[in-house]
Amino acid sequence: MEPQSCCTCAMADFDLPDARRPDLAPSFLSAMTVLGEGTVALFDADGTLWRDDVADDFTRWMIDTGAISGEQWSRYLEIYREDHAAGCRYLLMLYAGLTQTALHDRVWTWWREHARRRWVPEALEALYFLAEAGCEIWIVTGSPSDTMYPLRDFLPVSTVIGMDFELDEQDVITGGHSGISCADEGKAEKVRALLGDERRVVFAAGNGSLDRAMMELSTDVAWAVYPNATFEAVARSRGWPILPRPDDFVEETKLA
């Protein structure tokens, strides 16, 4: 069950820039010729729209506030370092026993009061540009879908696709994973399952190997945002435009 919008949100509530910067939108967007009705733009979230990781930051906040146990946190980090996709699925176990309604309430509190994202301005302006050109904006993430639903209320986002919690008959999170695993090849598979015959992907942005298959769905532009050296080489081999990491970029702690 997806939550309904619960508030009207000012941009400043989520540390979005106070003013738009259309000049930061990548120049290659202006050369795109197939936009408008029936087109979809895919954006990874963590590391693409912002530098931080929502799944980790929100989970740490849930642990620190006593909403969930942190007993399995170290194990999650171990699994993630060895297999990113498996780590994304394992994280869902930390939420077992929580009702989905209670989770959504806490997700909104975190986004309103604690999220403090370090937005990637070029990616944010690309999102606005494509939305204004008539593209549907889909967020495709390896984080739990429920943690990203607020994006639909303060950005022009129509669809959030992520890791889905398995729920019991009382809408209590079991700790298991439901449906297609939204990482690596699963990102592309899940997008294709929802795309239908009336839409086409014309743009996709991501920052790493778990986004590659999703990015390859685009019939026009695939954009590598802040890629590491390995994924930058992949992007160059495919002729994808690249937004290089800035000098002050710091790798995620769990990957360092």
pLDDT for the residue numbered 11: 43
Per-residue pLDDT of the chain (256 residues; tens, 9 = 90+): 565 444 444 444 577 888 889 999 999 999 998 899 999 999 999 999 999 899 999 999 999 999 999 999 999 999 999 999 999 999 999 999 999 999 999 999 999 999 989 999 999 999 999 999 999 999 999 999 999 999 999 999 999 999 999 999 999 999 999 999 999 999 999 999 999 889 999 999 999 998 999 999 999 999 999 999 999 999 999 999 999 999 888 776 555 5
* Positive/negative CA dihedral, 157, 251, 77, 180: positive
pLDDT for the residue numbered 139: 98
pLDDT for the residue numbered 14: 72
pLDDT for the residue numbered 17: 83
Buried b (16+ CB within 10 A) or exposed e, 38-47: ebbbbbbbbb
Instruction: Give the predicted TM-score (pTM) of the model.
Output: 0.92
Comparing CA positions, the residue from 46, 43, 33 lying closest to residue 88 is: 46
pLDDT for the residue numbered 253: 59
pLDDT for the residue numbered 5: 47
Domain boundaries, the chain: 12-243
Task: State the Rg of the chain over Cα.
Answer: 18
Within 10 angstroms of residue 5's Cβ, the number of other Cβ atoms is: 12
Using DSSP bridges, classify how beta strands 173-178 and 136-144 pair: parallel, antiparallel or unpaired: unpaired
From the options 3.40.50.1000, 3.30.460.20, 3.20.20.190, 3.10.129.10, give the CATH code of 12-243.
3.40.50.1000
